[in-house]
Structure 1
């Protein structure tokens, strides 16, 4: 594609695409393409000017080459299913239209026409106020109706028109921010699945999701995310539907029953008949969940909403009392024009939604405002080790065969079993086999996954198991081949070990290199500076491995060789002591602890069930996103308290000045609504300076 470089500086370039106009779909496609390029960490596309601004770390020539090779036709597969660009365009046009029409009315409409317009526009406000009065509810709608109605009765149409304009403007901004935040969250929570197991007549084939059609059969194993809506044809499973229905207990699903995209198979495995090809259903269900889930509101939001309604009678009583004491209707109206509820009801939810939106910009998906509040109050954080403090992509360092078996064949067999389960160590085994060009046919019977232990299956007539030392030697009673005891005792200690046994005899030990995240120690130190008093690491690894990792990252406490129920029990014990506990994990075995914590945080490329159960999900790229999340949560708390102080102080001052006769009603109404608009706009601003955050590309 042809383009022109409009401006560039170190690590930033602005290009203008040579085309007459750019549609919203084209802008989304171009932005999606640029974001896939290596070294590009931020992209903004402006469809009105046909420009793209790119922040990059790669070679300038390489970036320009990629842009020149771009075409809308050849990259259609990158188009997002859902985009917020059309939503923003619609509300931008509404906002500009409102302001322009207000200016036209004020400058060019004759007085009789302005008066008629104000009367017609006041009818909905008067009707809502009257409805509140008839129902015996003293809510903010009553104050709005009274202030507008009294202004019109006094023939002060300018004040009535200004009040209605500001109320309408506030409603529009609130609706815009709410829908934008919900849209951002829904897109973050939508499925991120590339491949699924397509069931054929002879075996299961790993197939790109884009190639799956309605009517195909796909297999979903325990711990797997159901990628598409469908009907169960084979197998019985327990499905966790919390992400869509809020049900905390898994529900049984049998042949003939419908399952939905985004839910997780907790137990069993099944074959689905695909009924829905696109991801629209999943997105729509998430939007409905976010919009309807009142239980996810933070205590600050509920407090603001309740306080706003409780203050209405006092504002109304103050207006009546001022009128009785001063015998001046103007002073009484000045008090009536001011209330606390508008700002409280508008600014607090906007602050929370904006913070959730901002967190998504740091690759943290927050499922409700109350979880941000809990993060800000937390004093204890519990880490899983593998895939959390260590990299989510461990590598096979060595395969040590026993009993005369072949190293190649043992890796092939282990990969055959491990590829069915989404865990970081399993992924390492599968990747090692792929790197060595080891292909295999499905040669085992049904695979059974035992949480935190391992995998069991049957090959031929022999039982094959792969897993931890506890599972292989203690639970299953496997033995070491004669003559290999010395070799077994000399296994390299610097690696984690995965044991493979055939027919009750050890056949191989797979040594896994589990590199520590380079930022882990610095992140834990940063969390301490933010107020975390206790950091704990829980792992199923051996004491030797756990002690080494704990010393490197600097946690206050660690536990080794723990089972999933042990992790959950530890979290519950800490909460019983009065601590506010955050659990961070990525695997199926972390799910009980994630549920038990005040806030469960999952790594985005971990097990699907962990992501679904968790209250917050962060990306696997950089643990500093956890620090950014904490800072957003803490600054949100401070912003909410600041909003409270401003709303109470400023509006209380307006009421006092109005009662004293210093401010006329029109001025009181104008200042009150402008302050509401101002505090709302402030609540929508970012809490953090993006470029100053640890882990940001500028600071690497």
Structure 2
């Protein structure tokens, strides 16, 4: 890259490219490449002036060296651009805006009066058609008010006012369209996958390539735990896929050769070769935009209230105009009232505020599926947490093996690992890993192994019935007894650990103590949530009451429930909601999905990439529970902004109606101020809501 340093300060460079005529694609390519560099904090490329602004960390020489080595060909090979460019969209709207203003100015300055009048009459037709359509449907809407104000002005031969009003309405409609599309584009960008490289299958070899190099028909290898980067079909292999992010299915779906795969879903088990059907940027972006548009069905009560209020106020505006005409006999004053309505600002600003909040959440790796879930988060007085994987790090380890009934400790661990390796989950993995570390190998001596969800494992080994699982499964379902003389030993099991119980032929044979370290920030997060108005925090766990009590005391939760099954969690959430509480449920797995669905807003924990496990209404895709505090703050800030928008729209437009009715404001001025206020409140709604920095303490 050839460029000149125009200005420089600590950690910031402003450069001007020597290349002229930078295209929109080149500007997008360069900006995306810059943002992908490890030393870049912020980067912006201005295509009209050829200027680059880079805020960076590290050594200045490193930055200059990387910029000097930049080539367009190299960027094309390493960077994938979506088909939809926000820069191109902005340019399109700029050109439309400038074109409308230029045509209006030219018509006013150079056209003779008869041609200006003819132009106004020609432009009236679409407005009048919309008004007559509302009248035919017996609806009093904004379109009818616009048609009346324009038609009455034209009938009074005030073509200047009619032309100005139409021009302002067209400009307002253009700006409203731009603000909405820009908000959707920004939100879609924040939710995009940003997968840079994939394993491309080339014969018997696999090559790591830039996703931008992948073409339809190529084979891409995807393995368990990986995000599917592109839309396509399974060409080889069998996998199970969690595709809740697009379809809402709460359980993984089996995919065999020929089965469709969608970008952004995650492989739960298996490995496959994906035959690409759509190149990067085509399928996933459109799916996200469609998801955002579908989220209109999930409007918050505040959004629905704004929309309903806007429609209800239109007849009052119409009645106020008629009343003013009857009282003053002044058509100009009546027209000034007609020029103002509450609908545009209320219907546009509220959804924009919600989309802005969703975009801000996305930047913090928080995915929100609709405005009503943000409203529920702001209003929630009770938050329920699953324990394992939510309040803990989900990396359990075997802390101790306590044998019973004269059994050998190593043999019991060997037997437990033999069974648990067939059904890998966090606690099973801990048992298998403990056996591996001790060098305990085993032969497959058992019959068919049966896994009972949220209970345990049942099998037979050398003709003996073997069971391993939770206390509920072992002692209540299987009626296992504690060996004679060992009750005291059982009663003094360490309460700080979770326990897996192993029984042979109905007799307890070993207790495997599992340690799963609590999240260091959990206790502080509970305190912060209380300061933000949450009245009750609850922990749900399948652990024994004694273990649950010890953990609850460490965390400082207000209440806990022990030995709960998935159905119990859902019923507990439902009971709280019946009592009038607004409830959030925070969980990390499929077993939590009934409770997540039952809550006013279900929040899923995912320690992987963003949009990897969207099994709930909201997904926190990070390692820290502080994101829950950020979510609460953002939701509360959103509701404050919506209330502020209400006050401004009602107050300002009410004042315009009053001034128009009093004859202070002429119709054109009322229309201009109304449209400017709509644009102003919309742009204000698009501004970022304040969020605490990740990891900030409260």
Specify if TM > 0.5.
Answer: yes
Q: Does 1:20 align with 2:25?
A: no
Which residue number corresponds to residue 334 of structure 1? Answer: 336
Q: 1:26–1:605: structure 2 CA closer, same or farther, 3 Å change rule? A: farther
Which residue number corresponds to residue 645 of structure 2? Answer: 643
Q: 1:540–1:29: structure 2 CA closer, same or farther, 3 Å change rule? A: farther
Structure 1 gaps of 5+ residues are: 199-204
Structure 2 gaps of 5+ residues are: 201-205
Q: Does the 8 Å contact 1:586/1:607 carry over to 2? A: no
Give secondary structure in 1 for the equivalent of 2:54.
Answer: strand
Q: 1:337–1:184: structure 2 CA closer, same or farther, 3 Å change rule? A: closer
Which residue number corresponds to residue 663 of structure 2? Answer: 661
Alignment RMSD (CA, Å): 5.6
Give secondary structure in 2 for the equivalent of 1:109.
Answer: helix
Give secondary structure in 2 for the equivalent of 1:387.
Answer: coil
Q: Does the 8 Å contact 1:382/1:535 carry over to 2? A: yes
The structural deviation recorded for 1:649 is 2.1
- Separation in 2, partners of 1:224, 1:464: 37
Pairing partner for 1:597 from 592, 596, 599: 599
Number of aligned residue pairs: 679
Q: Residue deviations 1:480-509, cap 9 Å, x none?
A: 999999999998765545678999999998
TM-score normalised to structure 2 length: 0.77
Which residue number corresponds to residue 201 of structure 1? Answer: none
Q: Does 1:539 align with 2:538?
A: no
Q: Does 1:614 align with 2:613?
A: no
Which residue number corresponds to residue 577 of structure 2? Answer: 575
- Separation in 2, partners of 1:259, 1:465: 39
Q: 1:8–1:218: structure 2 CA closer, same or farther, 3 Å change rule? A: closer
- Separation in 1, partners of 2:456, 2:3: 55
Which residue number corresponds to residue 128 of structure 1? Answer: 130
The structural deviation recorded for 1:684 is 1.6
Pairing partner for 1:322 from 321, 324, 330: 324
Give secondary structure in 2 for the equivalent of 1:613.
Answer: coil
Q: Does 1:695 align with 2:687?
A: no
Q: Residue deviations 1:111-136, cap 9 Å, x none?
A: 53655544443332222112212222
Q: Does the 8 Å contact 2:307/2:347 carry over to 1? A: yes
- Separation in 1, partners of 2:444, 2:664: 85
The structural deviation recorded for 1:534 is 0.7
Q: Does the 8 Å contact 2:44/2:54 carry over to 1? A: yes
Q: Does the 8 Å contact 1:226/1:265 carry over to 2? A: no
Q: 1:216–1:80: structure 2 CA closer, same or farther, 3 Å change rule? A: closer
- Separation in 2, partners of 1:325, 1:93: 47
Q: Does the 8 Å contact 1:350/1:684 carry over to 2? A: yes
> Which has the larger displacement, 465-474 or 286-295?
465-474
Q: Does the 8 Å contact 1:537/1:559 carry over to 2? A: yes
Which residue number corresponds to residue 52 of structure 2? Answer: 51
- Separation in 1, partners of 2:337, 2:595: 53
- Separation in 1, partners of 2:78, 2:412: 41
Give secondary structure in 1 for the equivalent of 2:656.
Answer: helix
Give secondary structure in 2 for the equivalent of 1:388.
Answer: coil
Q: Residue deviations 1:334-389, cap 9 Å, x none?
A: 11112222222222222222222222222221111111111121111111222222
Q: 1:183–1:443: structure 2 CA closer, same or farther, 3 Å change rule? A: farther
- Separation in 2, partners of 1:119, 1:431: 81
- Separation in 1, partners of 2:236, 2:553: 50
Which residue number corresponds to residue 551 of structure 1? Answer: 553
> Which has the larger displacement, 514-523 or 453-462?
453-462
Q: 1:30–1:236: structure 2 CA closer, same or farther, 3 Å change rule? A: closer
Which residue number corresponds to residue 522 of structure 1? Answer: 524
Which residue number corresponds to residue 422 of structure 2? Answer: 417
Which residue number corresponds to residue 308 of structure 2? Answer: 306
- Separation in 2, partners of 1:453, 1:227: 37
The structural deviation recorded for 1:553 is 3.0
- Separation in 2, partners of 1:613, 1:518: 25
The structural deviation recorded for 1:475 is 5.3
Q: Does the 8 Å contact 1:405/1:507 carry over to 2? A: no
- Separation in 1, partners of 2:411, 2:37: 41
Q: 1:390–1:209: structure 2 CA closer, same or farther, 3 Å change rule? A: farther
- Separation in 1, partners of 2:66, 2:443: 39
The structural deviation recorded for 1:583 is 0.7
The structural deviation recorded for 1:628 is 2.2
> Which has the larger displacement, 120-129 or 379-388?
120-129
Written as runs of structure 1 = structure 2, the 5 A alignment for 1:443-592 is 450-454=452-456, 468=470, 470-471=472-473, 495-496=497-498, 513-592=515-594
> Which has the larger displacement, 128-137 or 399-408?
399-408
Q: 1:162–1:360: structure 2 CA closer, same or farther, 3 Å change rule? A: farther
Q: Residue deviations 1:522-556, cap 9 Å, x none?
A: 22222112211111111223445433432333221
Q: 1:590–1:16: structure 2 CA closer, same or farther, 3 Å change rule? A: farther
- Separation in 2, partners of 1:214, 1:457: 46
> Which has the larger displacement, 581-590 or 322-331?
322-331
- Separation in 1, partners of 2:39, 2:457: 39
Q: Does the 8 Å contact 2:541/2:563 carry over to 1? A: yes
- Separation in 2, partners of 1:138, 1:459: 78
Q: Which protein has the larger Cα radius of gyration, Structure 1 or Structure 2? A: 2
Q: Does the 8 Å contact 1:384/1:585 carry over to 2? A: yes
Q: Does the 8 Å contact 2:35/2:42 carry over to 1? A: yes
- Separation in 1, partners of 2:510, 2:56: 48
Q: Residue deviations 1:284-305, cap 9 Å, x none?
A: 3443343245431122222222
Which residue number corresponds to residue 366 of structure 1? Answer: 368
Q: Residue deviations 1:449-480, cap 9 Å, x none?
A: 54333567899999998754555676568899
Which residue number corresponds to residue 168 of structure 2? Answer: 166
> Which has the larger displacement, 100-109 or 255-264?
255-264
Give secondary structure in 1 for the equivalent of 2:313.
Answer: helix
- Separation in 2, partners of 1:481, 1:444: 24
